[in-house]
Chain A
Amino acid sequence: SQQGEEDPQALSIQEGENATMNCSYKTSINNLQWYRQNSGRGLVHLILIRSNEREKHSGRLRVTLDTSKKSSSLLITASRAADTASYFCATALLDTDKLIFGTGTRLQVFP
């Protein structure tokens, strides 16, 4: 399977703490994207990092990409209860229009 792996599968933290989730993938990519999904809802696009970028910030989000290790991380700083959701990485493969999603991390932020 081409599907990426994410860890941890589940993460529980207190409000104000930072949350880090990791994504590993198997093939060469054009870019890597992170999405959030609230329970039973659609996907919300968070951030896209291209294969020639190493780090990207958006508000409280920080994404890193290491193409040599085929891995990425998403850091959410100063987490809030509203950040409670599932987070997925998705890799855009070279020479294709497909997105391959990772297994996801379920984040629970307690107030």
Chain B
Amino acid sequence: GAVVSQHPSWVICKSGTSVKIECRSLDFQATTMFWYRQFPKQSLMLMATSNEGSKATYEQGVEKDKFLINHASLTLSTLTVTSAHPEDSSFYICSAAQLGSYNEQFFGPGTRLTVL
């Protein structure tokens, strides 16, 4: 089956630092990857959609300069939280979709970010 990994699984950082989260599709090529954020006891909120080789499309209210997304290859997308603050502490989940199967997304295990 289609497997998506995320690294790291958890990270603790100081306020003001930047954190990079990787999302990899292990056994398929993902033309599109999605990044979600989930606060405790809440649902997943889509942050942005990234297509390989092009700029990410951000949802309304998501700061593109703060959440930098790079989708440089068909198997890797990265989310960098720049100048992280405690309010950025959240569970970040990525998903990947194959070409022609955009409605069937395969989810990574998530990354727990805690900003002190």
Contacts and interface: CB of A to CB of B under 8 A. Distances in A.
Dominant SS among interface residues on chain A: strand
Nearest to A6: B43
A97 B50 CA distance: 11
Interface in A53-111: 88, 92, 97-104, 106
A45 B107 CA distance: 8
A31 B32 CA distance: 18
Interface residues of A, number: 22
Interface string B104-116: 1111111010000
Interface band, chain B: 20 to 34
A99 B93 contact: no
A91 B87 CA distance: 28
A40 B112 contact: yes
Interface string B33-52: 01010000111111001000
Nearest to A100: B46
Contact of A101 (B41, B44, B109, B112): B44
B109 A92 contact: no
A43 interface: yes
